[in-house]
Amino acid sequence: MPDNTSMKTTTLWRPTGPEELDLVRDSDWRAWPPRLPDQPIFYPVLNEDYAIKIARDWNVPRSGVGYVTRFEVRSDFLERYPVQQVGGQTVLELWVPAEELPEFNANIVGQIEVVHEFRP
C-alpha cells in the first residue's frame, strides 16, 4: 500500500446547493454524485472567494441556501485537468468530464467538508 503521508494534495472548493450536499452526505462525505444528463462537466474551483461568490450569489437565490465545501485531491491526478480561467484573474475552475467523476472521487483524500453556509 502506498505511503499517503508524503502524498501531495491540492485544496479545491465547490459551491453547492442542498440537493447535491445531501448526496455528498449520503456518500459519508467522500464523493461527489454523478452528474445529471444536462451536466456534462463537474466544476470544482481553485479558490475560496470564487466559491463563496457562487454559493452566495447564485445558489441562495436558486435554492434558498448555498454551501461552500472544501476537499483535497491528489495533485498528481489533477495534472490532467488544465486550469480554466472563466472570468477575472481569480475565477479559476477545473473541468472534469462527467464520465471521469468516479475516478476523480477515488482521488479525493479525506472527507469533503462544509466551510460556509449562506441563507437569505
What's the whole-model pTM score? 0.91
Query: Is 3 contained in some domain?
Result: no
pLDDT tens for 86-99 read 888 889 999 999 99
Q: Which of 105, 107, 82 is nearest to 94 (CA)?
A: 82
Residue 69 counted as domain residue: yes
Residue 26 domain-assigned (yes or no): yes
DSSP secondary structure code for residue 45 in this structure:
B
What is the DSSP secondary structure assignment for residue 1, as one 8-state letter?
-
Q: With respect to residue 4, please indicate whether it lies within any of the assigned structural domains.
A: no
Residues in the chain where the model's pLDDT stays below 70: 1-6
Question: What CATH number did the domain enclosing 71 receive?
Answer: 3.20.170
CB 60 within 8 A of CB 68: no
pLDDT of residue 88: 82
Distance between CA 47 and CA 93 in Å, rounded?
Answer: 9
- Asked if the structure places residue 17 within a domain, the reply is yes
**Is 1 a domain residue?**
no
Residue 44 domain-assigned (yes or no): yes
CA 115 from chain centre, in angstroms, equals 12
Q: Please give the pLDDT value at position 6.
A: 66
Domain that holds residue 109: 11-118
For residue 89, the model assigns a pLDDT of 83
Which residues neighbour 24 within 8 Å (Cβ) at sequence distance 6 or greater?
16, 31, 32, 33, 69, 112
Number of separate domains in the chain = 1
- pLDDT score, position 114: 98
